Structure 1
Amino acid sequence: MFNILSILVGLVAFVIALVGLVPLLGWLNWLALPMAIVGTALGLLSDSKSGRNLNLLVLIFGGFRLFLGGGFI
């Protein structure tokens, strides 16, 4: 059950992070990162690792995007 919730949270965070790739919408990654952290926590509580891995991917993706944009854009 926790894995399904983790995957759902990860997919929503991933869509938000993809929209954050658009120039001047990079601030959306500040919304996607906390969601991915919550999804990772849910993934850690489950037996399966797929939800956790998805959220870790979103964390790396969003964090790198913020790093490239200087945290703003």
Structure 2
Amino acid sequence: MGLISLIWGIVAALFMCIALIPLVGWANWLVIPFAAIGAVIGAIGVMLSSKGGNGRAKAGLILNGIVVVVAVIRLQMGGGII
């Protein structure tokens, strides 16, 4: 689960970088739910893995959380259109 969440977070971060381009801000409406699903997968991975072996799940959870926060801030700045 941890590896899936980490890869999901990397893909979400790439999409978020594309959505930072002016006039492509509407893509953040797609990035936020995508990253939220990755964060849920990461949280499940953290809960199901042992204490020492949950590094990838934590990294995926944190990365997806950062993507959601940045995408929400970008939507607030541009109103979801620009």
TM-score class, shorter-chain normalisation, is over 0.9
What are the ranges of 5 or more consecutive residues in structure 1 without an aligned counterpart? none
- Other structure's SS at 2:30 match: helix
Question: Which has the larger Rg?
Answer: 2
Superposed CA deviations along residues 18-66 of structure 1, whole A, max 9, x for unmatched, are: 0111110001111111110100000001123111000000000111100
1:69 and 2:78 equivalent?
A: yes
Tell me which amino acid in the other structure corresponds to 2:14: V
Paired amino acid for 2:66: L
2:63 to 54, 65, 71: 54
- Paired with 1:3 and 1:64, the residues of 2 have a C-alpha distance of 26
Ranked by relative contact order (alpha carbons within 8 Å, sequence separation 6 or more), the top structure is: 2
**SS of alignment partner, residue 19 of structure 1:** helix
- Structure 2: where are the runs of 5+ without partners? 47-53
TM-score by length of 2: 0.83
User: How far apart in 2 are the matches of 1:67 and 1:13?
Assistant: 19
Q: How many residues are matched?
A: 72
Tell me, in whole angstroms, the C-alpha distance in 1 between the residues paired with 2:7 and 2:30: 15
Q: Runs of at least 4 residues of structure 1 off by over 3 A?
A: none
Q: What's the % identity of the aligned pairs?
A: 38
Aligned-residue CA RMSD (Å): 0.8
AA at the equivalent of 1:18: C
TM-score normalized with structure 1 length: 0.92
